[in-house]
Chain A
């Protein structure tokens, strides 16, 4: 535990000191949200009569988490390639605390940045109607999602041979919100895309957040979303174990 805490503190300290990564992770999702709300939002009919900002907030938060996790893949890869992992292993620090620390730091970073996105959203007119239960459930779902993609990012960071490649691998993670119900209703997309957009992991997550935050019935979307997060986490944890062993043979 001390080991994980020590290494998490290291990761957080270092990310606070790399302003470019911090600005990318914070500013880009906020900028994108503003662009969608002010530039595109006027032309988008979400079909439920509410303001576009209300529609777009869950997607913007997930987008933000995606950006934050991407930087985790790059930092993990850095540690694997520049000798840090050798030093840690010679100190008898194993792969589990090493990766758990990266994921912990990633989750904390992303909680802060998604909260910032939420604050900006509140400032530009987002008015959630959820009670404490709805807010708590939303936060829980978001935490589950952030945890799952942080583990996924750690796995990609172990898979990539260079930090640049690690950055490239996470492209998919950042792209995934677009073919979902994050920014426009799926019904407006070409029909061949419906199948993917409706069944990819982000759509039930976004629909759940939308429903929970606005106090509407969510159906079984939250359970589908949680199942996705659990599956992604389980697969990613297993992959990190395999990749770490392969990289440290």
Chain B
């Protein structure tokens, strides 16, 4: 996939109503329950036009529900949202004309070729047969699928299917793009290729909301990251801000007794009860580690041994979402 400056999503195609500095996505108080279980709790989200926002969170955090509500595929129990300047409840058709959605599972027909898929999508998006053909050729070229254009999608690799799916979602030149876990299940190389595509989309001025379970992915692609946990926003900011909010290292303490473990468990971001081990965030400096040990264990009886570890992205994630508690 070359990084030519061609217009991938084509924000100029439909004549945007939102000007510079406006919001591509603006959600207020979105709430949704399924069978008494609250999956989304008064979610607020503001994504400036032309930026990439990542919704980061574990399974069940409400990421997919958020995307489905904003893409008008399901309705919120309460709350409102505007997507590309249109109200998702009152102007559903206008929203749908402005958006595209790539779901967790590539919605690609095994028994159609790449070319047929894109031409069909073009026709469904309202293009004439000739326009659909031209747009299909253009997208196949851009997504490195020209050679495979005439082959059935069932012969495609996982990465090729995702690319075809993403290409299909771009046929109608959306101004707002929803990518629901676009790289889940992809090998590292295919993931890199998809990241490149998303970067190009941003370059074209499209607003992108992507969901992911990987902080690294959010770090690579997003201008701003919203961390979701159990339907609520756990943290928000740039990837750098989020990383600085949690300390860069973790002090793993092996405690001397169950009592000491219980007493200190609330301070920890990492818990291994069977080994009486707790992990506490630290910046890793000698001064901080010394102060931390003194603070946690003033009598010098609670802590048996310790190890200092560099925090992984997973630690950051767990610290922000509380998934470990």
A contact set with B: CB distance below 8 Å:
2-3, 6-7, 9-10, 13-14, 17-18, 82-84, 86-93, 248-249
The reply to whether A91 and B74 form a contact with Cβ atoms under 8 Å apart is: no
The reply to whether A90 and B75 form a contact with Cβ atoms under 8 Å apart is: no
Asked whether B125 is an interface residue with its Cβ less than 8 Å from the other chain, the reply is yes
Q: CA–CA, A7 to B106, complex, Å?
A: 18
The reply to whether A90 and B112 form a contact with Cβ atoms under 8 Å apart is: no
Report 7 cross-chain contacts, Cβ distance below 8 Å, ordered by A residue: A10-B116, A13-B116, A14-B111, A90-B71, A90-B96, A92-B96, A93-B124
Q: CA–CA, A3 to B111, complex, Å?
A: 19
Least distance between B13 CB and chain A CB atoms (Å): 15
Known interface pairs A91-B121, A91-B124, A91-B172; A83-B152 also in contact (CB < 8 Å): no
Apart from A87-B101, A87-B169, A88-B124, 10 more pairs, CB < 8 Å: A9-B120, A13-B112, A13-B116, A84-B107, A87-B107, A89-B96, A90-B71, A91-B96, A91-B125, A249-B74
Q: CA–CA, A78 to B215, complex, Å?
A: 33
- Which chain B residue lies CB-closest to A9? B120
Least distance between A86 CB and chain B CB atoms (Å): 5
The reply to whether B107 and A82 form a contact with Cβ atoms under 8 Å apart is: yes
Asked whether B2 is an interface residue with its Cβ less than 8 Å from the other chain, the reply is no
Q: CA–CA, A93 to B71, complex, Å?
A: 13
State which of B68, B97, B103 has its C-beta within 8 Å of the C-beta of A87: B103
Q: What residues on B are CB-neighbors of A18 within 8 Å? A: 111
Within 8 A of A (CB), among B52-76: 68, 71-75
- How many residue-residue contacts, CB under 8 A, span A and B? 67
Q: What residues on B are CB-neighbors of A89 within 8 Å? A: 72-73, 96
Q: What residues on A are CB-neighbors of B125 within 8 Å? A: 91
Least distance between A56 CB and chain B CB atoms (Å): 34
Q: CA–CA, A91 to B173, complex, Å?
A: 11
| Shortest 9 CB-CB contacts between residues of A and residues of B | A83-B107, A92-B96, A90-B101, A87-B107, A14-B111, A17-B111, A6-B123, A83-B103, A83-B105
The reply to whether A90 and B99 form a contact with Cβ atoms under 8 Å apart is: yes
Q: CA–CA, A87 to B101, complex, Å?
A: 7
The reply to whether B97 and A90 form a contact with Cβ atoms under 8 Å apart is: no
Q: What residues on B are CB-neighbors of A249 within 8 Å? A: 74-75
Q: What residues on A are CB-neighbors of B68 within 8 Å? A: 86
Least distance between B297 CB and chain A CB atoms (Å): 53
The reply to whether A83 and B100 form a contact with Cβ atoms under 8 Å apart is: no
Q: CA–CA, A9 to B74, complex, Å?
A: 28
State which of B101, B109, B168 has its C-beta within 8 Å of the C-beta of A86: B101
Asked whether B33 is an interface residue with its Cβ less than 8 Å from the other chain, the reply is no
The reply to whether B112 and A14 form a contact with Cβ atoms under 8 Å apart is: yes
Asked whether B93 is an interface residue with its Cβ less than 8 Å from the other chain, the reply is yes
Least distance between A81 CB and chain B CB atoms (Å): 9
Q: CA–CA, A249 to B74, complex, Å?
A: 5
- Which chain B residue lies CB-closest to A90? B101
Q: CA–CA, A109 to B74, complex, Å?
A: 33
State which of B106, B112, B120 has its C-beta within 8 Å of the C-beta of A83: B106
Q: CA–CA, A56 to B71, complex, Å?
A: 53
Q: CA–CA, A92 to B73, complex, Å?
A: 10
Q: CA–CA, A29 to B118, complex, Å?
A: 36
The reply to whether B105 and A82 form a contact with Cβ atoms under 8 Å apart is: yes
Least distance between B17 CB and chain A CB atoms (Å): 17
Least distance between A249 CB and chain B CB atoms (Å): 6
Q: What residues on B are CB-neighbors of A10 within 8 Å? A: 109, 112, 116, 120
Q: CA–CA, A86 to B69, complex, Å?
A: 12
- Which chain B residue lies CB-closest to A248? B73
State which of A7, A92, A248 has its C-beta within 8 Å of the C-beta of B97: A92
Q: CA–CA, A42 to B28, complex, Å?
A: 75
The reply to whether B123 and A2 form a contact with Cβ atoms under 8 Å apart is: yes
The reply to whether A84 and B109 form a contact with Cβ atoms under 8 Å apart is: yes
Least distance between A164 CB and chain B CB atoms (Å): 17
Q: CA–CA, A10 to B117, complex, Å?
A: 9
Within 8 A of A (CB), among B101-142: 101, 103-107, 109, 111-112, 116, 120-121, 123-125
Q: CA–CA, A13 to B125, complex, Å?
A: 20
The reply to whether A3 and B74 form a contact with Cβ atoms under 8 Å apart is: no
Known interface pairs A86-B73, A87-B101, A87-B103; A13-B111 also in contact (CB < 8 Å): yes
Q: CA–CA, A2 to B120, complex, Å?
A: 11
Q: What residues on B are CB-neighbors of A13 within 8 Å? A: 111-112, 116
